[in-house]
Amino acid sequence: MPVEAVIWDFGGVLTASPFEAFNRYEAERGLPRDFIRGVNAVNPHDNAWAQFERNDIDAAEFDRLFRTESRALGFEVSGTEVLDNVSGALRPGMVAALRTCKARFKVGCITNMFLRDGASHQMAADLAEVFALFDALIESAKAGVRKPNPRIYQMMCELLDVEPANCIYLDDLGVNCKPAAQLGMAAIKVVSEAQALADLGRATGLVFHAAPS
């Protein structure tokens, strides 16, 4: 099917993965590697992380619940400090690819990401500039539904007026790629910038280049 739209996740795709920041935090605090991911994997649809991404709870309640959930797994971790490590730096090569795609296709973004109030003015400005490129944007906290709920992908197709089979979807989490693929999208799991750009190039017939490291 011809490509009509490229749909992007944000955190971990257009920005560096928050998991890298989580791993640094874990190393600094003497926590097991990927401990935070493990906390978020327990009851993934209704835990503190899921509720916060849907905007069901505020940051203070997230901190309380995350402390409780992490304590149950052996280490009490501050939810506030976890949130402070969420926003990664933009990936220039991926942003350039987004701009190239925008010139040829419709582009949309489905994100469970949230911007912390304490983010720097420059970071907020940079993110706002990228968000402005999208023809449609769905943020889980505003929509009240989050990935991997299939409904959020269908909402994006409705906003872009495209069929799933005419869409490419990029996400750094396989659990979020699966429902997109089940709907008929060409799903690309982002493991690295170079890999993602190569896969996107094959899917679109365009040529993309990773930013120099």
Is residue 77 within 8 A of residue 66, CB to CB? The reply is: yes
Per-residue pLDDT of the chain (213 residues; tens, 9 = 90+): 799 999 999 999 999 888 888 999 999 999 999 999 999 999 999 999 999 988 899 999 999 999 999 999 999 999 999 988 777 789 999 999 999 999 999 999 999 876 554 454 566 778 889 999 999 999 998 999 999 999 999 999 999 999 999 999 999 999 999 999 999 999 999 999 999 999 999 999 999 988 776
Classify domain 18-83 at the CATH topology level. DNA polymerase; domain 1 (1.10.150)
Start and end residues for every CATH 1.10.150 domain found in the chain = 18-83
Beta bridge partners of 186: 168
Residue 1: what residue type? M
Q: Which CATH number fits domain 5-16+88-204: 3.40.50.1000, 3.40.50.300, 2.30.40.10, 3.40.1390.20?
A: 3.40.50.1000
Question: What is the C-alpha separation between 202 and 206, in angstroms, rounded?
Answer: 7
How far, in Å, are 44, 46, 80, 147, 183 from residue 52 at the CA level?
12, 9, 12, 13, 26
